[in-house]
Amino acid sequence: MVENRIATETDLKASQSAGTGTLGKSIAVLELVATSETPLRFTEILALSDQPRGTLHRQLSHLVEEGLLSMGGDLRYALGMRLLKLASNTWAKNQFRTVAEPHLKNLHEQTGETVHLGILHGQEIIYLDKVESRQAVRMNSQIGNASPVYCTGVGKAALSVLPEARLIDLVDRFSFQAYTPNTHLSAGSLLTELAVVRRVGHAFDREEHESGIRCVAAPVQAPRHGIVAGVSVTGPAYRVSMEQLEGWAVAVRKAAHEIEQDVEVRLGPGP
């Protein structure tokens, strides 16, 4: 009999329905340990799962190796420290938008144009928030949409603060696509521009992703929370000149810096 657990037969069936493949079964095992009031022994997990002894032993070993589970001296399994870090990073990213929101609105008040907040995710920028322009002609961007990092202002700003080794590794894996005649088509040209972005503290989108759309962006980072992001002011080329964007660069960098400061204060020191 398995004591001191809160996982019921219904919970077990629900967790097993998450998937019958290797990943699904591993997640089910992870959930069994997570929903138990106390750490579980191998025999207790075996009794709760429908997996063969050998298969379960391999899955538990892999989960321990990856830091998702830990095994104490009493041979009981509990959640691993890596899960705590992942949970902390997830919470931080969800709160990041809330922390940044007043600064985005302030930047919008100063410029009157569309303001974006985007976060680096692999080779893309995911837009977390947007304050729409007061002008009649507006951007088609949507919260939750993704854009390539190499041809967007927010993307290049985020790339500029990556450690050199990580940046080179990421750029080497890009499949460059010509969205407009101004799009970077090689790692060399992109890295040359990123060196300038790193020096001046802001990046431009010179109609590189969409013809007729320009922006100026600055990086936002909170390494202890796993956040690499950017904030930008975007507008149509017929209304927003490069000179105008240059003039807004200081305000954009200031907003980015203030977001970073608020993240440190409101989200804490991180994991």
pLDDT at 137 over 80: no
pLDDT at 224 over 90: no
User: Which residue range forms the structural domain that includes residue 72?
Assistant: 9-79
pLDDT at site 7: 37
pLDDT at 235 over 60: yes
Q: How many domains does the chain have?
A: 2
Q: Report if residue 92 sits inside a domain.
A: yes
Same domain, 124 and 173: yes
Q: Are residues 60 and 77 in contact, defined by beta-carbon separation less than 8 angstroms?
A: yes
The tens digit of pLDDT for each residue in 163-190 reads: 999 999 999 999 999 999 999 999 999 9
pLDDT at site 253: 98
**pTM (predicted TM-score):** 0.67
What's the average model confidence in pLDDT over 18-44? 82
- Decide which of 219 and 69 is more confident: 219
Provide DSSP, 158-218.
Answer: HHTTS-HHHHHHHHHT-----SSTTS--SHHHHHHHHHHHHHHS-EEEESSSSTTEEEEEE
Q: CATH number, domain at 120?
A: 3.30.450.40
Q: Is the torsion defined by CA of 257, 263, 265, 268 positive or negative?
A: negative
pLDDT at site 159: 97
Q: CATH number, domain at 64?
A: 1.10.10.10
Q: Report if residue 3 sits inside a domain.
A: no
